[in-house]
Amino acid sequence: KNQVEQSPQSLIILEGKNCTLQCNYTVSPFSNLRWYKQDTGRGPVSLTIMTFSENTKSNGRYTATLDADTKQSSLHITASQLSDSASYICVVSADSNYQLIWGAGTKLIIKP
Amino acid sequence: EPEVTQTPSHQVTQMGQEVILRCVPISNHLYFYWYRQILGQKVEFLVSFYNNEISEKSEIFDDQFSVERPDGSNFTLKIRSTKLEDSAMYFCASSVWVNIQYFGAGTRLSVL
């Protein structure tokens, strides 16, 4: 069964600190993996998208990694800011399929 | 920057009533989607639409749901006879290809 699991469920860190969020998936055949940021009450916003051949992709202070062999991805946030407080959702797309398989998200809270 | 716009932002309706949620996708996009997110739960795929027809739908998208692109700009989701469990945030998204989907801010549907 195609699934995306994320950990931790929630995370609280101090402003300025770094953090890493995890995503494990069992989606086959794999097409791409995306990380979205969702502010409370808003729609998801794409941070990164990676295909099978990509190991790392950065978007400002966000760096995503992908290990297609172990079916794991991580999202690293550097020098966190209060505005990083949001849910971060890992989404995997199966090949030739419009449908995205969504993780439950990690709720990140940045405290001053 | 172009964006997906959704109206209304909040819709309150009585159980059994019909509702139409409206979306204006980004103008040069070709693929359109509806998702829903029940409070505290994962984003769930409902339907994708391309070339004036449904390209894929989930098991959630039963006969109570329909989508339409009545003109060149609007993309609507109709729920014929709302149930309490239809209460959720409904997100519209659009994309040029099936890669990066841009999401609207959502419509909060409350069924009383």
Please give the pLDDT value at position A97: 55
B48: closest chain A residue by CA: A98
Query: Per-residue pLDDT for A27 more than 80?
Result: yes
Q: Which residues of A touch B108 (CB under 8 A)?
A: 41
pLDDT digits (tens, 9 = 90+) for B71-108: 878 999 999 999 999 999 999 999 887 667 889 999 99
Q: Which residues of B touch A105 (CB under 8 A)?
A: 42
A95: closest chain B residue by CA: B98
The verdict on a CB contact (< 8 Å) between A44 and B41 is no
> Counting one residue from A and one from B, how many pairs have CB atoms under 8 Å apart?
48
DSSP string, chain A: --EEEEE-SEEEEETT--EEEEEEEE-SSEEEEEEEEE-TTS--EEEEEEETT--EEEETTEEEEEETTTTEEEEEE-S--GGG-EEEEEEEEETT-SPEEEP--EEEEEE-
Q: Percent of chain A scored above 70 by pLDDT?
A: 96
User: B45 burial class (0-12, 13-18, 19+ CB within 10 angstroms)?
Assistant: buried
Query: Per-residue pLDDT for A46 more than 60?
Result: yes
Query: Per-residue pLDDT for B40 more than 80?
Result: yes
Minimal Cα–Cα distance from B62 to chain A, Å? Answer: 16
In this structure, are residues B59 and B7 in contact, taking their beta carbons and an 8 Å threshold? no
Please give the pLDDT value at position A70: 94
More confident residue, A85 or B100: A85
Please give the pLDDT value at position A1: 78
| Torsion, CA A38, CA A44, CA A45, CA A49, rounded to 10 | 110
Tell me the residues of B at the A interface, defined by beta carbons under 8 Å apart: 4, 31, 33, 41-45, 48, 50, 55-56, 58, 89, 91, 93, 98-106, 108
pLDDT-derived band at A42 (thresholds 50, 70, 90) equals confident
Query: Per-residue pLDDT for A98 more than 80?
Result: no
In this structure, are residues B94 and B101 in contact, taking their beta carbons and an 8 Å threshold? yes
Minimal Cα–Cα distance from A32 to chain B, Å? Answer: 8
Please give the pLDDT value at position B26: 93
For an interface test with B, the pick among A39, A52, A99, A106 (most B C-beta atoms closer than 10 Å) comes out as A99
Please give the pLDDT value at position A17: 97
Please give the pLDDT value at position A95: 67
The verdict on a CB contact (< 8 Å) between A43 and B99 is no
Mean pLDDT of chain A: 92
Q: Percent of chain A scored above 90 by pLDDT?
A: 72
Please give the pLDDT value at position A96: 55
In this structure, are residues B109 and B13 in contact, taking their beta carbons and an 8 Å threshold? yes
Please give the pLDDT value at position A63: 97
Please give the pLDDT value at position B16: 96
